[in-house]
């Protein structure tokens, strides 16, 4: 396939090869990113991409779907088996459409919904002010406490006061396990639907190293990449509890997604999801999930030993959230993301609880272990990586984020120019390149 691409479009071919090199010789530590298997990538680039399949298995609007029906049915059955649910929809293009379909399936415009505040680690689609979810629905956000954990007392009080139609559990940056049982008790007390967005921890749930919401939630949504190591896609699942609340809930969700929100599914994506779910059913995946958590814990401890402050003082899953205000004051995440990138460590800037700056110039850094674990790295390697990170940060710790917008752009421009030429960061990048050469990336020769 790459040979055909090289001949047909050498420009794209060269960019793909450059991205391959970046992934192969750098440390991918964004917690929401991972490496798929070669088998998953093979299906993504297969003839399944040629087919149009509006509808659901055995209920299509196009002919020629006899094999696509089998592919999608396999994906559905594997999802149901992995998560212990009676209903699964594997057609969402990604996690956000999956979440939107939940709204359409159980809410009316103007209904009250609750989710974790974005700057506290929540997701855009759980009612953040710039998301369409807060424009169509009345969003009542809840928050985390000083230690970074969800304030369940606040969730209970807000639910009692506002009587929401839907309550979300889940986040984009939360280093703890979720208290699904308590969420369920709160939702049940006010008659709300309880939806658990497990996008980040789905693979950990499958591996048995994170609690499952299947007994407690009515609806579960997830992406299929991140800790599941599949292609970029989404799943919506309805639990037995959900069907007990409304026997038509599965049908309502399906109709909300198609024809309510999407057209034809991406069959190559569905096939790749099926492959990834099949891989997750193997005993080796449980070992992988356990190592993800082991590595994340080791990384958190090593970061603290190197002087970093962590929200919650550690990690209970696959990620840590670094509070950089003791070093940089407000806005330090911007500096550190760029400097670590120069050094060969890919991370992402992130807001912290009670963020003193802004989502674009946040004061924290999100860092995780899933992709490194896929490559075969272990606890001892996390200690070495933490030392590299601290050395890199030491090269830029005199920078401070200008609060006035007029001088900020020029200041950040100068910062990037100088940092890109920093000899210590370049030296670290060479060390990391040599280090990474010992750990293969699936599908990259």
CB burial of 313-348 (b: ≥16 within 10 Å; e: otherwise) equals: ebbbbbbbbbbbbebbebbbbbbbbbbbbbbbbbbb
Q: At residue 366, what are phi and psi to the nearest 5 degrees? A: -100, 130
Question: Among residues 33, 54, 111, 151, which one is catalytic?
Answer: 54
Question: Annotated catalytic, 151?
Answer: no
Question: Among residues 72, 197, 254, 323, which one is catalytic?
Answer: 197
Question: Among residues 78, 226, 349, 375, which one is catalytic?
Answer: 226
Q: Output the six-digit token pair for 205.
A: 């749930």
Q: Tell whether residue 124 is among the known ligand binding residues.
A: yes
- Helix 267-280 to helix 66-83 angle (10° resolution) is 40
Alpha-carbon dihedral 117, 123, 125, 128, rounded to 10 degrees: 30
Q: Tell whether residue 123 is among the known ligand binding residues.
A: yes
Q: Quick one: which of 238, 105, 121, 233 has its CA closest to 178?
A: 121
Question: Annotated catalytic, 183?
Answer: no
Question: Among residues 13, 52, 56, 411, which one is catalytic?
Answer: 52
Neighbours of 160 (CB within 10 A): 11
Q: Tell whether residue 257 is among the known ligand binding residues.
A: no
Question: Annotated catalytic, 226?
Answer: yes
Q: Is the dihedral of CA 108, 110, 113, 118 positive or negative?
A: positive
Question: Among residues 112, 223, 227, 351, which one is catalytic?
Answer: 223
Question: Annotated catalytic, 54?
Answer: yes
Long-range CB contacts (within 8 A, 24+) of 339-343: 339/392, 339/393, 339/395, 339/396, 339/419, 339/422, 339/425, 340/389, 340/392, 340/393, 342/392, 342/419, 342/420, 342/422, 342/425, 342/426, 342/429, 343/388, 343/392, 343/425, 343/428, 343/429, 343/432
Q: Quick one: which of 271, 269, 258, 273 has its CA closest to 54?
A: 258
Q: Output the six-digit token pair for 364.
A: 């924290």
Q: Tell whether residue 118 is among the known ligand binding residues.
A: yes
d(CA 78, CA 415) in angstroms, rounded, equals 49
DSSP class of residue 173 equals: S
Question: Annotated catalytic, 197?
Answer: yes
Neighbours of 445 (CB within 10 A): 8
Question: Annotated catalytic, 223?
Answer: yes
d(CA 204, CA 327) in angstroms, rounded, equals 32
Known binding residues for (6S)-5,6,7,8-tetrahydrofolate: 118, 122-124
Known binding residues: 118, 122-124
Name the residues annotated as catalytic. 52, 54, 197, 223, 226, 232
């Amino acid at each position: 396939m790459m040979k055909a691409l090289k001949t047909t479009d050498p420009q794209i071919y060269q960019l793909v090869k450059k991205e391959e090199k970046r992934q192969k010789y750098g440390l991918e530590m964004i917690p929401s990113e991972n490496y798929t298997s070669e088998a998953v990538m093979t299906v993504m680039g297969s003839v399944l991409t040629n087919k149009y399949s509006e509808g659901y298995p055995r209920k299509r609007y196009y002919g020629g779907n006899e094999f696509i029906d089998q592919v999608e049915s396999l994906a559905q059955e594997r999802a149901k088996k992995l998560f212990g649910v009676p209903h699964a929809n594997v057609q969402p293009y990604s996690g956000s459409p999956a979440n939107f379909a939940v709204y359409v399936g159980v809410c009316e415009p103007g209904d009250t919904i609750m989710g974790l505040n974005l700057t506290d680690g929540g997701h855009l689609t759980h009612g953040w002010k710039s998301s369409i979810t807060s424009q169509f629905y009345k969003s009542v956000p809840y928050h985390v406490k000083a230690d970074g954990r969800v304030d369940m007392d606040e969730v209970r009080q807000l639910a009692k006061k506002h009587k929401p139609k839907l309550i979300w559990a889940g986040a984009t940056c939360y280093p703890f396990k979720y208290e699904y049982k308590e969420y369920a008790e709160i939702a049940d007390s006010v008659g709300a639907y309880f939806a658990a967005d497990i996008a980040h921890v789905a693979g950990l749930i499958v591996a048995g190293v994170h609690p499952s919401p299947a007994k407690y939630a009515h609806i579960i949504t997830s992406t299929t990449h991140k800790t599941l190591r599949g292609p970029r896609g989404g799943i919506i699942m309805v639990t037995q509890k959900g069907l007990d609340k409304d026997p038509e809930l599965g049908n309502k969700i399906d109709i909300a997604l198609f024809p309510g929100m999407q057209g034809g599914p991406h069959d190559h994506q569905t096939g790749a999801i099926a492959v990834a779910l099949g891989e997750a059913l193997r005993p080796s995946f449980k070992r992988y999930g356990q190592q993800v958590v082991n590595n994340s814990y080791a990384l958190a401890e090593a970061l603290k030993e190197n002087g970093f402050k962590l929200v919650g003082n550690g990690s209970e899953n696959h990620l840590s959230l670094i509070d950089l205000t003791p070093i940089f004051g407000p806005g330090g995440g911007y500096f550190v993301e760029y400097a670590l990138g120069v050094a060969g460590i890919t991370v992402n800037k992130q807001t912290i609880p009670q963020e003193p700056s802004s989502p674009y110039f946040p004061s924290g850094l999100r860092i995780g272990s899933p992709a490194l674990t896929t490559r075969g790295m272990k606890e001892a390697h996390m200690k070495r990586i933490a030392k590299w990170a601290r050395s890199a940060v030491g090269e830029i710790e005199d920078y401070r984020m200008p609060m006035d917008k007029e001088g900020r752009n020029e200041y950040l421009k100068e910062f990037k120019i100088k940092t890109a030429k920093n000899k210590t960061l370049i030296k670290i990048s060479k060390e990391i390149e040599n280090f990474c050469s010992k750990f293969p990336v699936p599908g990259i020769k």
